[in-house]
Structure 1
């Protein structure tokens, strides 16, 4: 019998993995001799750290960057890159099974080669690791250190046994998976996003604890690859941040795919019997037990703030919320900033990079860039995707902002119909009485691509009136955005204006 899937699973040591590790943390790497003083020391070499280092070097600064594990952080190694590679292959298999929707014939025998699927994930991850490699960082002029960091004062820290002095420092240590406190879970073994991409064998039965973006994405991907998947969520809904009609469409998609979703349900205990994981579930007063081969936890993230002696640098932090910063990303030590997931509520790769650029500008160019001024889009990469930017209606209501919403169902868009991808909508919120865009939600197969047009409009302060004049290539699904804008334009034709037009037309035709 196969051993249980658990958190100790490591990636196969193949050529792809060897290259990735050689790029991101070479075994033979020797830390350089520190300079007497650095203008900027960056703690953490994930998306935020790399973005800060690139900008600071371009400005001619003396920069040191320290990483405890792998350059590239969660995004490259255990997050965005491997998950999207896996999701793409999973969608391929889903499309094969749904070939009848497109007038095709479903293959007689669809066999998932999970080993090949994961080999592709590792190959893509290895290929992209070159862009963040230690050699590239060093070639730019960054002094790259590997090791554990301990702050020793307001302007000094140690990495292993080396002391680094700095004028400014930026902490970008990111987050790690939160492990739910379920009795027996650790003993039985479990997966997180940090280990799930190391699998080489497809679990026949998978339990996903948590109905957030990570849990939903991976649950659907593994179901499309052939696992029997159950999602357990202790809340009455999943994707609780999103609008309810968006989450409902995804719920329908999960039902279509055969994913069992148990809401208001808690995993209360785990045990292993005859090599099989037994998970006790509680929903209200109803108790049940399911058998699974693997358990994936996706119930949030924990900031990496421990073990750095932040107190010695006078830095305020919280074990759950991370490092405390103001709107300029300064900690309560004016020499030290923070960026990325370790201090942000919106934990997305591009947001981390954007926050790092704010830090460098504010620290060295007397900038006054504010975190609150960022317009931040995000996307959950399920099928269909759910993307959002700006305010939700409930948020606008809490702020006392009057809102008008324009919604276009995807089944009214020609390209969505020809693609047999009619499920979803484009919903744009504006400040009532104006054409100012406050926010938008898109549910569509390519929502992550489509949301960028609205994000650009918001950043450039382009209103719906202008978007209505933008000619879109036909046919594309992004036409739904223009249709929403056209719906706004039609509201501008008031009864008084219509009456004036009719009088003018009557005179011109006499």
Structure 2
């Protein structure tokens, strides 16, 4: 919630009107404008604009394929049901990408396609995993995530600890005067193992890849905090966030290990 709150506040400072907690009832053309009627906590509200961009996500387009004739089951999303090997209920058919309704990113489709080809040709030996799947929202600043959020980690039974630092603790963003944002790390307090990360910062999509590698390698917060990072870079913020589990980074000197 702190990430969405920080992004919302930044957008409002940029002059964007953000309406949350609303239910949309209807949309109409009103001359040269578009009129959106929505329900808010304060009652019905009408918003007028020149254009409306509907970003409601995507769903698999499978209805016209008559997949049931091939013995292929669909999941609750209307996508093709697959197992961890990308195999459908018809053992001769594998499916990947958006048609499954899962992990709808082009790089995950490419990853799934590679596994499906291997399994179809060599037997089911390669398992699909999204445990270290990065996701990026190209807002300004960007928001990027990998692994488990705090809520997800708690739901899985982990004894969770978190670290959150704002960008005014990261020299790179102080220098560039882009301090709206934060970095949050999630870890297992029993093992110190990193479980996930969320970054709200300029070019967060680049920095998140370091956390992908950290999670894949099974690093702890201490190991990440002890890793050498180049000074005055955005990714150095991850080191500082890791150190802040046990230290007050505001009191550290430049590049403190």
Q: TM-score, normalised by structure 2?
A: 0.88
For the residues of structure 2 that align with 1:470 and 1:318, how far apart are their CA atoms? 43
CA apart distance, 1:419: 0.5
Structure 1 residue runs without a partner (length 5+): 1-243, 492-510
For the residues of structure 2 that align with 1:354 and 1:489, how far apart are their CA atoms? 37
Could you tell me whether the CA contact under 8 Å between 1:409 and 1:424 is conserved in 2?
Answer: yes
Q: Which residue of 2 aligns with 1:433?
A: 190
What is the aligned-residue RMSD (CA, Å)? 2.1
For the residues of structure 1 that align with 2:130 and 2:28, how far apart are their CA atoms? 48
Q: Return the structure number with greater relative CO, CA threshold 8 A, min gap 6.
A: 1
The answer on 1:342 being equivalent to 2:71 is no
For the residues of structure 1 that align with 2:55 and 2:62, how far apart are their CA atoms? 20
Could you tell me whether the CA contact under 8 Å between 1:468 and 1:489 is conserved in 2?
Answer: no
Q: Which residue of 2 aligns with 1:366?
A: 123
Q: Which residue of 1 aligns with 2:235?
A: 478
Could you tell me whether the CA contact under 8 Å between 1:407 and 1:428 is conserved in 2?
Answer: yes
CA apart distance, 1:372: 3.2
Could you tell me whether the CA contact under 8 Å between 1:377 and 1:451 is conserved in 2?
Answer: yes
Residue pairs, 1:271-420, within 5 angstroms:
271-284=28-41, 286-318=43-75, 320-372=77-129, 374-420=131-177
Larger Rg: 1
SS at match of 2:13: helix
Q: Which residue of 2 aligns with 1:91?
A: none
For the residues of structure 1 that align with 2:216 and 2:164, how far apart are their CA atoms? 21
Provide Cα deviations, 1:427-460, integer angstroms capped at 9, x if missing partner. 1111112231111111111211111001011112
SS at match of 2:196: strand
CA apart distance, 1:340: 0.9
Relative to its length, the structure with more helix (as a share) is 1
Aligned with residue 266 of structure 1, among 23, 42, 53: 23
Aligned with residue 458 of structure 1, among 193, 199, 215: 215
Q: Which residue of 2 aligns with 1:469?
A: 226
For the residues of structure 2 that align with 1:320 and 1:413, how far apart are their CA atoms? 41
For the residues of structure 2 that align with 1:367 and 1:273, how far apart are their CA atoms? 56
For the residues of structure 1 that align with 2:119 and 2:220, how far apart are their CA atoms? 30
For the residues of structure 1 that align with 2:199 and 2:186, how far apart are their CA atoms? 11
CA apart distance, 1:367: 4.2
Residue pairs, 1:25-104, within 5 angstroms:
none
SS at match of 2:45: strand
Distance 1:319 1:457, change over 3 A: closer
The alignment covers a number of residue pairs equal to 248
